[in-house]
Structure 1
Amino acid sequence: MTRKNSVRLLAAMLLSLLLLVALHSTAPESFHFDLLRRLLSPKARAPPASSRDAQVILQRVSENGTRPCHNISTEAAYFFGLPMEGNGEEMITLSTEVSHKFWIVSYAADGSRRCHGGDFYEIDLSGHQWKSRPSVTDLGDGSYLVELRVDGEFTGIYTLRAILLYSNFHGMDHSATEWAVDKEVFRLQIHFTSSTGGSTRTTLPLCTSSDFTSKKPWLGKWTRTKFDESCALDEDGRYLCLRDDEQCDESQCSGALERLESNGWVYSAHCKFRIWSTTEAWKCLDGKKLFFWGDSNHRDTIRNLLNLVLGMNEIIEQRSIIINVTNPANPAQNLRVFQIYNGAPDPGKVFLGLRSLDEPAYLELVKKEFFQGGVPDAVILNSGLHDGHAWKIPGSLPQRPRPLHCSGSHCCGRATKHAWSSVTRSPWLEV
């Protein structure tokens, strides 16, 4: 049995001796009336815009443990704000095209309310053609605001699940596995019906560069309008069931749907994505230099880009790689890909993160490959996993030096067109 499964089994055995999570609490009715009135107050319905900000989270983490109730774990959770009938076992009916809000409230084993936030609830809303993770806002007082919405064309029966993954900010611990709860606190059936009496379809706009620089939060979902009910994974672990020329439903994406190999499932948010053909992708990337600096997960990203998008057949095994690839269908087109592993100067080691830059030889390697043949056209950074182990104090991370001396929209005379941070922006490299 794996350690992860052992933890889950032990947690299940312990939790089975504690409170059962119920859809309706056994607390006095007056208590629930006061609680519901507080939750439905304008203040509760409109949490501050900064409640999701990193500074707010870090402030709450620093306060954790300063009050007696901070050290009390969450053992049960109840929801308020959804229309219930009878004993709560009947299906809830909600309208599509409407933003619905409800609250999860955390309780200790003795039935008392938690006084502080820090519980990590994962909310899953799944239907036959829709899957999403509704947003959860920690209100900082033991209650959590959940917002969900389903588009008009996706009426049907849905399952709403709430899973408590971690309590008391333990999800941010250096070694969080031992604190994993992974407990389903409630499960509901919801029938989403059209608010207009008929199915409505909204065609999303294509995502543009401004969508990636906007501070507007992304609230995405997976949907499918074209799929094969009998589709199954093949021997290579791929869903190859739709016709090669099957096109997206323009409401959710643009391009050849089968290229995703997902049996029709496609991601979209407030905008939709374009699925590039191999010819279009090569035209876009021809002559470009891509620079990846991050953990070994980038190997999957690079392999998928080369093989699934550009039509190559590359095997990516090393954590640090430099690849020059040529379009098999047009030898005049080429692409350079640089991936420098950031876990440690030695690719076989881990958990040093930015401290790798204290090694002069490693720093020179990064600088050399970054500038080799000119600065990159795009930079993809991922510095979360290994820095999470190396940097215990969040405030110390931004104090790192910037040894590349390259900042602004132009880097050493040449424009670096795009820069992404897939986890955490690295303070030593600004492009």
Structure 2
Amino acid sequence: MSAHLSPPLHPPLAAAGDAKKPDAARRASCFGGGGDHHHHPKKPPGPIAAKLALASFLAVIVLLAADASLAGAGAHRRLRRQYLHYVGDAAAGSLSWLSVPDRPNFTDDLLARWLAPGGSPCRDARTANISVAALDGAAARGEPTTLGAGEIHEFTFWALDEAGRRRCLGGDYFEVDLSGPAWKARPPVEDRGDGSYSFRLQVAPRFAAGGFRLTVVLLFRSFEGLKFSSARFKYRAELRRVPLLFRAAGNASLPALETCRAADFSRDAWSGRWTRLARNDSCEEVDAEGRYRCLQPDHPCEAPWCDGPLGALESNGWVYSAHCSFRLFAADAAWRCLDGKWLFFWGDSNHVDTIRNLLTFVLGVTDTSAVTRRFDAVFKNPSGGPETLRITSIFNGHWNMSMNYLGLHSLRNRGFRQLIRSYFVSGDRVPDVVVLNSGLHDGCYWTSIRTYAQGADFAAQFWSGVLAKVRARGHAAPRVFYRTTIATGGYARDLAFNPSKMEAFNGVLVEKMRRHGVLTGGVIDNFDMTFPWHYDNRCNDGVHYGRAPARFVWRDGKIGHQYFVDLMLGHVLLNAICNG
């Protein structure tokens, strides 16, 4: 049940009936000559950097330990557990979890590499293959490579031109996938800038049984995925499909994941994995409502990979975890957390799907007609409890909510800026939590990384100004999260909002928001969550992972589709909101 709220006073924007068709050239740039955005479906650090990082971390540990000693042995034990969670306990034979290091000066480094001059045969050559010395020998013999489970394995490979010669410049975009019977992850890739690249693999011993497949796809070459019209530059060649086996070694073990707390959202980029904790082999088709209800709704999670009702994800056992694990919320727990809160969303149409799925699948709200591109409504607990929740959502694909393909440039419209501010500068309260997203529309508007960086800086300054006005009114600033833009899937991997461009845009905007002090809550890395499922259209229609379940022909020709990736995002959002 919901009730619409009257919006705060603001200058009128163009009505839906005033919408004009988007510019044909810009539309073509998004879809490679046609299509509908809302189609309904038929670097690991080097030795020196590592030492400096470790020294800085240990210095913080020393200071915190001094404070902890004043609070007693219990605080000291908690501090030690936190330390071991990140670096592992070597004395006990523990290993550490794979992670993505912070990326200082992300925008400047990206621009410098993008603008690196050519001028020599190895620089001007085009990548056609790769050489992975440590894996190619066994693969050529048809044999799997055996690796230790739990360990982090780093592999270096070289980009080769058509003649088999090494290149000496980076910029190629590789999609790397590691899949097993109960494990699916994106190994992080580092572009070293000299034609060499590296990726890291890790599989927890709990999921090491069975064969694994390492797949490497060259999606774009020489930063061509960042071009305005990227579809004509696509390469999309599968260069490797390598069989792997993982074996447990000795008594080494990984630190147990802990449930995410507020501090865990401070990382700019995640390196998680999807694990399968249960499976109903007889559940192959959707039910009459188009849903994959393969497990009982209360089928429990397995610690430490998650906590709560695994069956509620409707994923047939798959669940996502990162440097911490996530609680899956039952309806009563979610309502207790959200009661009286005001959530404010600003982003693309994926936000709309997530809000609707959160209401439907978690909170049990059946009437979600209020959830449109732009709305402000109060929802009541449908079970009869007294709890209420206010949600405001402002679509940012265009300042006119019936149009598309402006993204962050929508903020150049004065009326649109005033509309957003009005929710923060009028009345006796402000939103408790703000979830921001750049969005796929940016891939269609901005002609280069340089122009996007300018737009991102403008957006970050705008939101910094909004928070400043909130504080000036004597209110506490809301907790602000940036939810990274998805990795577009299937056919959309080639288009103007391709994964190469969206990953770069995510990095730029997160950096700008950090520098302007906007991210008071942190980052929710939906790009990492969606990437392992972006190779086809089973979990997405290309540009959405949360389309409502339905029993009809999906984009890949099968009946129904899998929507659990977006359901997982809803629970991750609840962890960010409720576990502070």
TM-score when normalising by structure 2: 0.62
Q: Is the counterpart of residue 420 in structure 1 residue 420 in structure 2? A: no
Letter in 1 for 2:473: C
SS in 2 for 1:239: coil
**What whole-Å deviation, never above 9, does each CA across 1:108-142 have from its counterpart, x for those lacking one?**
11222222111111111111111111111111111
Matching residue's letter, 1:407: L
Q: Which residue of 1 aligns with 2:217?
A: 163
CA deviation after TM superposition for structure 1 residue 105, in Å:
1.3
Pairs within 5 Å for 1:16-415: 50=103, 53-63=106-116, 65=118, 69-82=122-135, 84-85=137-138, 87-155=140-208, 156-196=210-250, 203-214=256-267, 217-235=269-287, 236-313=289-366, 314-315=368-369, 318-371=372-425, 373=427, 374-391=429-446, 392=448, 393-397=451-455, 398-399=457-458, 402=462, 405-407=465-467, 410=471, 412-415=473-476
**For the Cα contact (< 8 Å) 2:296–2:311, is it kept in 1?**
yes
Report the AA paired with residue 197 of structure 2.
Y
Which range moved further: 146-155 or 102-111?
102-111
In structure 2, give the amino acid aligned to 1:383.
S
Equivalents in 2 of 1:237, 1:140: separation in Å?
Answer: 46
User: Take 1:186 and 1:297, find their aligned partners in 2: how far apart are those partners?
Assistant: 32
Could you tell me how far 1:208 is from its partner in structure 2? 0.9
Q: Distance in 2 between matches of 1:163 and 1:94?
A: 22
Deviations 1:7-29 (A, max 9, x none): 9xxxxxxxxxxxxxxxxxxxxxx
Over 3 Å counting, the alpha-carbon distance change for 1:120 and 1:286 in structure 2 is same
Equivalence for 2:38:
none
Q: Is the 8 A contact 2:139 2:243 kept in 1?
A: no
Counterpart code for 1:225 = L
Name the aligned partner's letter for residue 60 of structure 1.
R
Please give the secondary structure, in 1, of the residue aligned with 2:211: strand
Q: Matches of 1:139 and 1:92 in 2, distance apart?
A: 25
Comparing 398-407 with 285-294, greater Cα deviation is found at 398-407
Give 1:90 deviation, angstroms.
1.0
Aligned length: 394
- Three-state SS of the structure 2 residue aligned to 1:402 is helix
Shift of 1:70: 4.2
- Which TM-score applies when normalising by structure 1? 0.82
Q: Is the 8 A contact 1:70 1:168 kept in 2?
A: no
Contact 1:345 1:362 in 2 (8 A): yes
CA pair 316-233 structure 1, distance change in 2 beyond 3 A? farther
5+ residue gaps, structure 2, are 1-28, 34-45, 52-99, 485-508, 521-580
Q: Tell me which moved more, 416-425 or 285-294.
A: 416-425
Offset of 1:81 from its aligned partner? 2.4
Percent of aligned pairs sharing the same letter: 36
**Larger strand percent:** 1
Q: Output one character per residue of 1:28-53: Cα deviation in whole Å (capped at 9) or x when no partner.
A: xxxxxxxxxxxxx989x999975993
* Alpha-carbon shift at residue 181 of structure 1 (Å): 1.5
Give the Cα–Cα distance (whole angstroms) in 2 for the partners of residues 57 and 349 of structure 1. 31
Structure 1 residues 354 and 219: CA distance shift in structure 2, 3 A: closer
Amino acid across the alignment from 1:406: V
Matches of 2:207 and 2:226 in 1, distance apart?
Answer: 36
Partner SS, residue 284 of structure 1: helix
Q: In structure 2, what is the Cα distance between the partners aligned to 1:317 and 1:65?
A: 50
Matched ranges for 1:8-19 at <5 A = none
* TM-superposed deviation, 1:298: 0.9
Name whichever of 66-75 and 102-111 sits farther off.
Answer: 66-75
3-state SS in 1 of match to 2:304: coil
* Deviation for aligned residue 1:394: 4.0
Give the Å deviation of 1:281. 0.7
Change in 2 beyond 3 A, CA 1:298/1:87: closer
Q: Distance in 2 between matches of 1:87 and 1:347?
A: 54
2:395 and 2:482 map into 1 onto residues whose CA distance is: 15
Instruction: Name the structure where helix makes up a greater proportion of residues.
Output: 2
Shift in Å, 1:306: 0.8
Q: Amino acid of the residue matched to residue 442 of structure 2?
A: D
**RMSD of the alignment, in Å?**
3.3
Contact 2:374 2:401 in 1 (8 A): yes
SS at match of 1:60: helix
